[in-house]
Structure 1
Amino acid sequence: MNSARTSPPGRTVRVRAPGKINVFFRVGPLRPDGYHSVASLYLAVSLYEEISATSTAAPGNTRGNTVTSASGRVNTAKDGNIVVRLKGTALNSEGPLAVPLDERNLAVRAARLMADVCENAGAVRLEITKRVPVSGGMGGGSADAAAALLACEKLWDSGLSREEVSHLAAELGADVPFGLLGGAAVGLGVGDELTPALAPSPLHWVLVQADFGLPTPEVFRQLDRMRMADGVEPVVPGQVDPAVLAALRAGDAAALAAVLTNDLQPAAVALAPQLADVLAAGKQHGALATLVSGSGPTIAMLAADEAAALELAGKLAAEGHNCLAVHGPVHGAKIVSDVSR
């Protein structure tokens, strides 16, 4: 590593990356590598994670300190040459939704992976602002990883192409490449074989967030148990339903509502039966369709247009639901600032 070429202390690159919903999700059999074959239609939506990567003169010596800020609880920890600071409106730093700050955190792993391939890498402080629900089925951790890759690549001037960064993203997890790509995309294999899909018109959704998480591996295991009990032999899904792609191309919310599919939804509802009431409440208040987002427990509700989404969010909020109106598709991980002190 050539430390003479590292970024000067105080340079900060800020990147934001979107959460996603799966408007179509077929799950095939368990593969020898421990993953499931899938066919997915990812849609990036306007709920963003944000990472600031700041070059530092030394890695620092903070571990486990906790302070309180206006945006919620903030944790700081050190992992080698990486100091991590965590905050955000989606943050719950205690209990099962605690976000790890060590190598289990995808953003930390992304920074370490980029450091391995950058001769200019130096000590860095990562500040992660979380807005996507933790363990909510919206790929928040994958968005963090995509943002961290892009931020550190820029901070250390790696010279890697976007395609090379995407290959690194695939090493971190199946959803991370989509965090870089954004928009709408078909995902095959384990979800990492991406093909952009045409979606020229925005679609409007209401996200209903839970106060608990559902670990993705457990939801997949539950699906496997339910299929075994029912004698279902899943097949490898080879494509996304063409009707889904046609509805996206046309920007036709009503047509899309008729073909929304998520194989993980029965498993998520089996693990968290209260989700069934939320799904029903959305339909009762005018949603065109409701479904569990990914592995859940976040519920995505499709609305006819922006006004309908805002009205739906208002009705659900009045009943005590934690909800937010969003739209998609939106861009993938994007640098929003690059400044030096």
Structure 2
Amino acid sequence: MSPILKRTVTVRAPGKINVFFRVGALQDDGYHDVASLYQAVSLFEEVTATPADEFSVRFTGPIDTAGLATDDSNLAIAAAKLLASRTGYTGGVALTVLKRVPIAGGMGGGSADAAATLVACDELWGTGLGRSGLLPLAAELGADVPFALEGGTAVGTGRGDELSPALAQGAFHWVLALSDMGLSTPLVYGTLDQHRDAHVGDLGPQPDLVKVDTAVLQAVRIGDADSLADAMHNDLQVAALKLAPELSELLELGESRGALAGIVSGSGPTVAFLVHSAQEAAELRGTLTRRDIRTLVVTGPVPGARVLDAH
């Protein structure tokens, strides 16, 4: 291995919003084919990596991380160990994660940690895989990890990990309404399957393969918020609203107070409201904050995992 030249590397990676999410029929292997339009937004995780003999992770930042695992089940640790095993690196790493993306909020915070860890350790250890070499490892770690590595706006198909960049221009303004509870992704999928089984007479059979609607791709390509508001969709939303009925009231509140549209992001419970401008975002944030709803204002798209500092 090349000698360690850097003593510390800090990388930031973005959370994401699913502005479109379609879920196909339940397959025999227990998985679903999905079609998603991801947008990386300006809410970032930061991972700082320093050389160590063992692998460890600790958390800082504004989010309560008391419930997060710090063993091999943590995605950042898994990412570091996977990179070490594939490149023959024999040392370890001490990771410090500055968390800003809500935990179990449907915004891919854990995936951002994994992507940032891959980039940080590759730089720290001099393993030299670079972004293209890290992408296959990212896909092994989870469906959202390759997107956190790449950022921008992208279509995800298959299990969500087969990415193709989507042309996008301009910036979209979002107000995120955060929830104190987390929603388990497997539970949300299971609830969707039950809902579809119970209402198969009305809904009809689900297709095995799904795709992102042309309308949503066109909306991001021309940077038009009104068109995107009309085209946004999330198949998982019906299940998230069943599990957390209060989200229905939240969606109605935001849309009655100036949002072009609201959507449950991914498996929830974070709700993303699309607005026209920074000023409208500030006004909606004020309205929600007065109702004691925790909010964040973000814009998208933003780049994927990037080195902030190395010395």
Q: Same fold (TM over 0.5)?
A: yes
Structure 2 equivalent of residue 261 of structure 1: 233
Distance 1:121 1:273 in 2: 49
C-alpha contact 1:53 1:148 (8 A) present in aligned 2: yes
Amino acid at match of 2:238: P
CA positional deviation for 1:260: 0.6
Amino acid at match of 2:179: A
Amino acid at match of 1:84: V
Q: Does 1:153 align with 2:122?
A: yes
Amino acid at match of 2:253: A
Once the two structures are overlaid, the 10-residue window that deviates more, 152-161 or 240-249, is: 152-161
Structure 1 equivalent of residue 302 of structure 2: 330
Distance 1:102 1:144 in 2: 14
C-alpha contact 1:121 1:156 (8 A) present in aligned 2: no
Structure 2 equivalent of residue 195 of structure 1: 164
CA deviations 1:95-138 (Å, max 9, x no partner) are xxx11111111111000001102234422100011110000000
CA positional deviation for 1:157: 1.1
Aligned runs of 1:60-75 on 2, under 5 Å? none
Identity level (%): 53
Distance 1:268 1:139 in 2: 16
Q: Does 1:132 align with 2:105?
A: no
Distance 1:167 1:123 in 2: 21
TM-score, reference length from structure 2: 0.96
Aligned runs of 1:264-275 on 2, under 5 Å? 264-275=236-247
CA positional deviation for 1:238: 3.7
Structure 2 equivalent of residue 13 of structure 1: 9
Distance 1:196 1:126 in 2: 30
Aligned runs of 1:65-214 on 2, under 5 Å? 81-93=54-66, 98-214=67-183
CA positional deviation for 1:250: 1.1
CA positional deviation for 1:92: 3.7
C-alpha contact 2:22 2:210 (8 A) present in aligned 1: no
Aligned counterpart for 2:42 among listed residues 36, 46, 52: 46
Residue correspondences, number: 308
Distance 1:238 1:276 in 2: 26
Distance 2:209 2:278 in 1: 33
CA deviations 1:42-76 (Å, max 9, x no partner) are 000000111001013xx3xxxxxxxxxxxxxxxxx
Secondary structure, aligned partner of 1:20: strand
5+ residue gaps, structure 1, are 60-80
The alpha-carbon distance between structure 1 residues 151 and 121, as it changes in their structure 2 partners (threshold 3 A), is: farther
Distance 1:120 1:20 in 2: 31
Distance 1:30 1:145 in 2: 27
Compute the RMSD of aligned alpha carbons: 1.3
TM-score, reference length from structure 1: 0.88
Distance 1:280 1:82 in 2: 45
Secondary structure, aligned partner of 1:320: coil
Distance 1:50 1:30 in 2: 35
CA positional deviation for 1:284: 1.4
Q: Does 1:23 align with 2:19?
A: yes
Distance 2:74 2:148 in 1: 16
More helix, by proportion: 2
C-alpha contact 1:51 1:147 (8 A) present in aligned 2: yes
Amino acid at match of 1:21: I
Amino acid at match of 2:10: R
Secondary structure, aligned partner of 2:127: coil
C-alpha contact 2:56 2:93 (8 A) present in aligned 1: yes
Secondary structure, aligned partner of 2:16: strand
Secondary structure, aligned partner of 1:210: coil
5+ residue gaps, structure 2, are none
CA positional deviation for 1:202: 0.4
C-alpha contact 1:14 1:50 (8 A) present in aligned 2: yes
Secondary structure, aligned partner of 1:258: helix
CA positional deviation for 1:87: 1.7
The alpha-carbon distance between structure 1 residues 145 and 32, as it changes in their structure 2 partners (threshold 3 A), is: farther
CA positional deviation for 1:161: 3.6
C-alpha contact 2:33 2:210 (8 A) present in aligned 1: no
Structure 1 equivalent of residue 263 of structure 2: 291
Structure 2 equivalent of residue 280 of structure 1: 252
Distance 1:239 1:28 in 2: 9
CA positional deviation for 1:6: 4.6
Secondary structure, aligned partner of 1:7: coil
